[in-house]
């Protein structure tokens, strides 16, 4: 017998317990290696633009260069202006149709067009058929505008027709909520001081953000909190009351609105989780009197 064979025979054999523990260690090591090798959760395929910051969502201009094109009256609504990113190197973009309020025209809230488009959206600010169109009529026109945007507009190849949203002020805000009730496939809706005669969103299935203005005597915060409370628990939702604002606050560029609107639209149109920390929690509460939400939103 060789020296090596004799040495092996003289070595003590590990006990059954040690052998078992050794097997467990090997298994745990394999699990750890597998876990360490697993890739991080993939980013949304609709993610557009650089990583956001508090400054970038409050900035007057976002990271995308934009252009605009005018749409004449017809096609079920009163015409309007489309704003869109000029480059599609990152892919297509989600779309948003926006309606003004009673006796209002797009020019009265037109700052929203370039502000939102430069963040990576195709934005259609519409004129209504008549200045006194009802919320239901405005809802119909918003849906017609989205259909035009996706099917016949000159920028339709820049648009992802499966990622659409609506927004509006006052009667237009009621119209946006009405449109969401009728088209639950929309990705998001925003009502700014919205007038919705039914007073109910019990059938709402679209992620809904409602803005109230503290000093609004036309559509009061009390009325809008009651409306907000009718949204089903299963529907993502948020309520923001702007400090010291009146009914037509949206008529001037507002950092308070922009820095809360943009994350809402990014989260639900683009499925972009990078924007969740700006609303859940809402760390910057300047200019905001009350905030309610269904966080986590995504």
* Active-site residue set: 170, 216, 247
The rounded distance, in Å, linking the Cα atoms of 61 and 119 is 8
Q: Where are the beta strands (DSSP E) in the chain?
A: 66-71, 80-85, 93-99, 121-126, 159-169, 188-192, 208-213, 237-242, 288-293
Q: Which residues touch 71 (CB under 8 Å, ≥6 apart)? A: 79, 80, 81, 82, 124, 148, 153
- Residue 106 DSSP code: G
The rounded distance, in Å, linking the Cα atoms of 155 and 128 is 21
Torsion (CA) 191, 193, 197, 201 in degrees, nearest 10: 40
DSSP letters along 116-148, please?
HHTTTEEEEEEPPSSTT--HHHHHHHHHHHHHH
- Least Cα distance to 276 among 122, 85, 61, 57 occurs for 57
- Residue 26 DSSP code: H
The two three-digit tokens of residue 70, written as one number = 């005018």
How, if at all, do strands 121-126 and 80-85 pair?
antiparallel
Q: Tell me how crowded residue 31 is: count the other CB atoms within 10 A of its CB.
A: 10
Torsion (CA) 179, 185, 191, 196 in degrees, nearest 10: 40
The rounded distance, in Å, linking the Cα atoms of 68 and 115 is 12
């Amino acid at each position: 017998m060789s020296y090596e064979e004799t040495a092996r025979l003289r070595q003590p054999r590990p006990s059954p317990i040690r052998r078992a523990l050794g097997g467990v260690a090997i298994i745990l090591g394999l699990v750890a290696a597998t876990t360490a090798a697993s890739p991080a959760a993939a980013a949304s395929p609709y993610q557009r633009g650089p990583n956001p910051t508090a400054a970038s969502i409050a900035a007057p201009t976002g990271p995308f260069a934009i252009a605009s094109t005018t749409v004449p009256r017809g096609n079920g609504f009163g015409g309007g202006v489309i704003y869109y990113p000029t480059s599609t190197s990152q892919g297509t973009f989600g779309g948003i149709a926006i309606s003004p309020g009673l006796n209002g025209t797009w020019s009265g809230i037109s700052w929203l067009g370039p502000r939102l488009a430069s963040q990576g959206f195709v934005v259609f600010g519409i004129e209504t058929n008549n200045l006194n169109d009802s919320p239901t009529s405005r809802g119909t026109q918003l849906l017609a505008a989205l259909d035009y945007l996706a099917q016949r507009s000159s920028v339709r190849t820049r648009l992802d027709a499966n990622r659409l949203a609506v927004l509006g002020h006052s009667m237009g805000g009621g119209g946006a909520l009405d449109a969401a009730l009728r088209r639950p496939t929309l990705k998001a809706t925003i009502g700014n001081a919205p007038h919705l005669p039914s007073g109910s969103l019990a059938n709402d299935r679209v992620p809904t953000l409602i803005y109230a203005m503290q000093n609004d005597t036309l559509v009061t915060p009390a009325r809008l909190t009651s409306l907000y409370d009718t949204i089903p628990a299963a529907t993502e939702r948020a309520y923001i009351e702007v400090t010291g604002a009146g009914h037509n606050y949206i008529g001037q560029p507002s950092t308070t609105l922009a820095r809360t609107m943009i994350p809402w639209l990014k989260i639900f149109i683009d499925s972009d989780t990078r924007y969740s920390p700006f609303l859940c929690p809402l760390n910057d509460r300047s200019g905001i009197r009350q905030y309610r939400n269904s966080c986590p939103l995504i």
